[in-house]
Structure 1
Amino acid sequence: MQLQGLHHTTLAVEDMATMLAFYTDTLGLKCHPVKNNWLGTGRGYALHLMPVAGGRAPADPARHIAFQVESLNGCARHLLAKGLHPYQMSLSMEKFPVRDADHPLDQGIGTLFLDDPEGNTLEFVERHRGIFAQYDDGY
């Protein structure tokens, strides 16, 4: 068997309206034309927001979703302009707040993090930058 890639990730969601607004309006994901709790990146990967009643797991950065972005600095600029609080994080989970999109963004592992409205950790990765600079597409 040969796996071809990741298809989707699911997040347990308590407040669907807030989370849909965040992922569509803030991050730019697109709702599926029939099932609006399925959100696409437009690049063959989806995020499934699964409604739950009071069953959300506690926030844990070790459990996160990573999105690939064209530019980490552009991502930081976008998030800061939306009034959000991105940060960088070390392997020991030490957080480094990002307050300036023109910062080198080389703290921690060289990626960017953000917590969504329900506390889920999101990571933003620019290929060939930070911890990923030493790897190619073959690992």
Structure 2
Amino acid sequence: MLSGLNHITITVSDLERSLHFYTHTLGMKAHVKWNQGAYLSLGSLWFCLSCGTPCPKTDYTHIAFDIPAEHFTAFTARLALTGIREWKVNRSEGASLYLLDPDGHQLEIHAGDLKSRLESLKSVPYTGMEWL
């Protein structure tokens, strides 16, 4: 039986550039690096950078990182000063910033959780939504 999410691995074209972005820009902790990758963490999340040729995304697939609401404005203002690129404007519950990493991976900084999202859907449900 599955018990949770184990780790996330993304392909990066330039390990040093991505390592800098994920540690200095987003604040992840670096643990080890080698010729073709690096292991980082964010809270209990294990995050792996693996060298290769990233595939550009054109759909809604993305990785969302949690941030307490009281830190959202200052954190995203700091990100804006780094020249990050945004890929979407937030239209859903909770504060969100949708940004691209150096290889174009779609990321989100989100202040909210599943409980707050489900609560908001009680008053404004998605088209065709069915509660399970």
| SS across alignment from 2:80 | helix
Match of 1:23 in 2: 22
Match of 1:102 in 2: none
More strand per residue: 1 or 2? 2
Aligned length: 114
Q: Deviations 1:28-82 (Å, cap 9, x if unpaired)?
A: 11111476711101x2102110111xx3212235221110011332332221232
The structure-2 alpha-carbon separation of the partners of 1:128 and 1:57, relative to structure 1 and needing over 3 Å to count, comes to closer
Deviation beyond 4 Å, 4+ runs, structure 1: 33-36
2:5 partner amino acid = L
Match of 1:46 in 2: 46
Match of 2:60 in 1: 62
1:128, distance to aligned residue in structure 2 (A): 4.9
Check whether the contact 1:66–1:124 (CA below 8 A) recurs between aligned residues. Answer: yes
TM-score (normalised: structure 2):
0.71
1:11 partner amino acid = I
Structure 2: which 5+ residue stretches go unaligned?
A: 121-131
- Between the aligned residues of both structures, percent identity stands at 29
Match of 1:108 in 2: 91
1:117 partner amino acid = P
Q: For the residues of structure 1 that align with 2:32 and 2:49, how far apart are their CA atoms?
A: 15
TM-score (normalised: structure 1):
0.68
Structure 1: which 5+ residue stretches go unaligned?
A: 90-95, 97-106
More helix per residue: 1 or 2? 2
Question: Bigger CA drift: 30-39 or 59-68?
Answer: 30-39
Check whether the contact 2:67–2:109 (CA below 8 A) recurs between aligned residues. Answer: yes
Q: Is 2:38 the counterpart of 1:37?
A: yes
Query: What is the alpha-carbon root mean square deviation over aligned residues?
Result: 2.7
Q: For the residues of structure 2 that align with 1:61 and 1:85, how far apart are their CA atoms?
A: 16
1:85, distance to aligned residue in structure 2 (A): 3.9
Q: Deviations 1:77-128 (Å, cap 9, x if unpaired)?
A: 22123232446x3xxxxxx3xxxxxxxxxx4124221001111110111125
Match of 1:92 in 2: none
Rg (Cα) greater in structure: 2
